[in-house]
Amino acid sequence: MPVVVACFKWVVDEAYIRRGAGGALDLSSVDYKIGEYDRNAIEEAVRLRDAGGGGSVGAPESAKGVKDGLSRGMDQAFFVSDPYFKDLEPSQTAAILAEVIRTRIPQYDLITCGEGSSDLYAQQVGPRIAELLGIPCVCFVQKVSLEGGKLVADRRVEDGIEVVEAPLPALVTVLPDINTPRIPGVKDTLMAGKKPVTTIKKEELAGSFEGTLKTEAMTASNLERTGEKLAADAAGIARFVDSLRKSGVIR
């Protein structure tokens, strides 16, 4: 019976982000949600649990996120909650989650992570967790199954699809097209409140979890388009080529 751990993150809902003066990001009225890619990680963990009759656990970063994750089919959650754990960068997030899994969930078969987070999208947390735990890691997975103590995964590569096998326990990062995340119903939400949740504080974990990166500023992206309508004749084509030459596109 497989035990599958899904790691997920409570992130800013980008629909509420506004552009402030000078291009600064206005986060004063934002709402939060489970990251889009992490929803696929949760769904795949639950799917594998249902297929094999095992259990699934989550490690989120928000109390509201705990209930949301549990309503999506998880059996229990480990809630990493501490004021110190704010605005974490990938190496910190991976170190914290690896320590939680190592000390709280010693017997597991598979860890699922999203391809990247919806906010930073660094694509580092999954591979870093696997490295810290000393287990195999398969990234960019669009299909996975557990068979006879090993995982079989289809992973997307530049030239097509690569089918790989790895011994369990292992970790996979999943692509959005691996599944369609379920939408929790009223019954699912009510049942989520009855599932076990273990809250974990910083002092309960070994390690300092110091960051290695410093964010100096964040600004909104700016896209400027300049367009010119040209006639479909020799003169228009000549102007088009001249414009490309002046902009340095061609020489």
Tell me the per-residue pLDDT of 112-121, one tens digit each, with 9 for 90 and over.
Answer: 999 988 788 8
E strands, the chain, in order? 3-7, 10-12, 18-19, 25-26, 32-34, 55-59, 76-80, 110-114, 137-147, 150-157, 160-167, 170-174, 197-200
pTM: 0.81
Tens digit of pLDDT for each residue in 105-114? 889 999 999 9
Report the first-to-last Cα separation within the chain, whole angstroms: 64
Of 12, 59, 34, 75, which is closest to residue 171 (Cα–Cα)?
Answer: 59
Residue 61 has pLDDT above 60, yes or no: no
Among 3-12, 80-89, 163-172, 217-226, the range scoring the smallest mean pLDDT is 217-226
Cis peptide before 169 (omega within 30 of 0): yes
CB 48 within 8 A of CB 110: yes
Give phi and psi for 250, each to the nearest 5: -125, 160
Q: Which amino acid is at 112?
A: T
Retrieve residue 238's tokens. 């000549």
CB 145 within 8 A of CB 152: yes
Residue 246 has pLDDT above 90, yes or no: no
Q: Is 235 exposed, middle or buried (CB count within 10 Å of its CB: 0-12, 13-18, 19+)?
A: exposed
